[in-house]
Structure 1
Amino acid sequence: MDPGDFDRSSRISREFQGLPGRGELWFSPGPASGFPGDRRSPDVQEASPLLEDLRRRLARAFQWAIQRRASRRAQEAAAAALEEQSRARVEVALAGLRAELVEMHFQNHQLARTLLDLNMKVQQLKKECELGFTSDSRSPKDNAANSE
């Protein structure tokens, strides 16, 4: 590598500084004339806008990630709230069905009792009819003989 190559590489790196992507992160390599924190260092002065740009990009990326995470949490919370509402609706519906079943059970017992009562009355009427028919079917002579 001869001294002309160094000038050419610094010129190329300066050309890429305005392009998106990796070109924006390049800075021309110069002779080390101090420490990175030294204000007198030309490398730091050239790198400072690049570092500032990198800092801004990272800050935007972190903000975006935080917002995305917050929106995901909000979506999860909304989904959980919807699920809780649907569970509550199901519980209310089940409670209503249970109440209806209890009412139907009560009505079923009332109908069974009514049917049993009607059956007993029908049996009594049958007996009365049979007794009436047997007393009517006897002749008046039989009735007179039985009364003596």
Structure 2
Amino acid sequence: MEEVYGGYRPRISPGPQGVAGRAGLWAPASRPRGSPGGAPSPAAPPPEALRRRLVRALQRAVAPGGSRRAREAEAAAAREERGRARVESALSRLRAELLEMRFQNRQLARTLLDVNMKMQLLRKEHELHTALEFQKTLQ
């Protein structure tokens, strides 16, 4: 035991991963006075107190908002999801524009084919008309 401000306090050994005092869940075991041979017997807290301490420890461990790392991971996941949504939206707009361009391309191709056919008809008419005029001049 070590002396603290004129009184005595029991020395607490480091718990798991160097955390002193068994992570503060319950007090260290005390030595009952008058036990034969001074052998320590574990002092168990009453069940209700133990239950309350465990519940508090669990609530702290899984508090809303969680740890900083968990919040950062959630924020990163949310940013990634927003980025995906933006990309999907942009792809959707591009698909719609491509469909519109394909439709316009087909319309333009039909128009060009129609114009080409009309030009061929006019050329044939002109050739016939010229041939008739030539025949008239020969007669």
TM-score normalised by L of structure 2: 0.56
C-alpha deviation, 1:100, in angstroms: 1.8
User: Judging changes above 3 Å, is the alpha-carbon distance between structure 1 residues 36 and 103 closer, same or farther for their aligned structure 2 residues?
Assistant: same
User: Higher mean Cα deviation, 96-105 or 122-131?
Assistant: 96-105
Partner of 1:43: none
Q: Aligned partner of 1:101: which letter?
A: R
Q: Percent identity?
A: 11
Structure 1 segments, 4+ long, off by >4 Å, are: none
Query: Structure 1, residues 61-83: CA drift from partner, whole Å, max 9, x if none?
Result: 766x9222233222212211210
1:5-24 mapped onto 2 (5 Å cutoff): 14=11, 22=18, 24=20
Q: Which has the higher strand share?
A: 2
User: Higher mean Cα deviation, 29-38 or 68-77?
Assistant: 29-38
Question: What number of residue pairs does the alignment pair up?
Answer: 110
Aligned partners of 1:30 and 1:108: how far apart in 2?
95
Partner of 2:104: 103
User: Judging changes above 3 Å, is the alpha-carbon distance between structure 1 residues 70 and 22 closer, same or farther for their aligned structure 2 residues?
Assistant: closer
C-alpha deviation, 1:32, in angstroms: 3.3
Unaligned runs of 5+ residues in structure 2 are 3-9, 23-27, 34-40, 47-55
Query: Structure 1, residues 96-123: CA drift from partner, whole Å, max 9, x if none?
Result: 1211221121122112111111110100
Partner of 2:88: 87
1:1-148 mapped onto 2 (5 Å cutoff): 14=11, 22=18, 24-25=20-21, 31-33=31-33, 35-37=43-45, 59=60, 66-67=66-67, 68-138=69-139
TM-score normalised by L of structure 1: 0.53
Q: Aligned partner of 1:137: which letter?
A: L
User: Judging changes above 3 Å, is the alpha-carbon distance between structure 1 residues 77 and 114 closer, same or farther for their aligned structure 2 residues?
Assistant: same
C-alpha deviation, 1:87, in angstroms: 0.4
Q: Aligned partner of 1:93: which letter?
A: L
C-alpha deviation, 1:134, in angstroms: 2.2
Q: Indicate the structure (1 or 2) with the bigger Cα radius of gyration.
A: 1
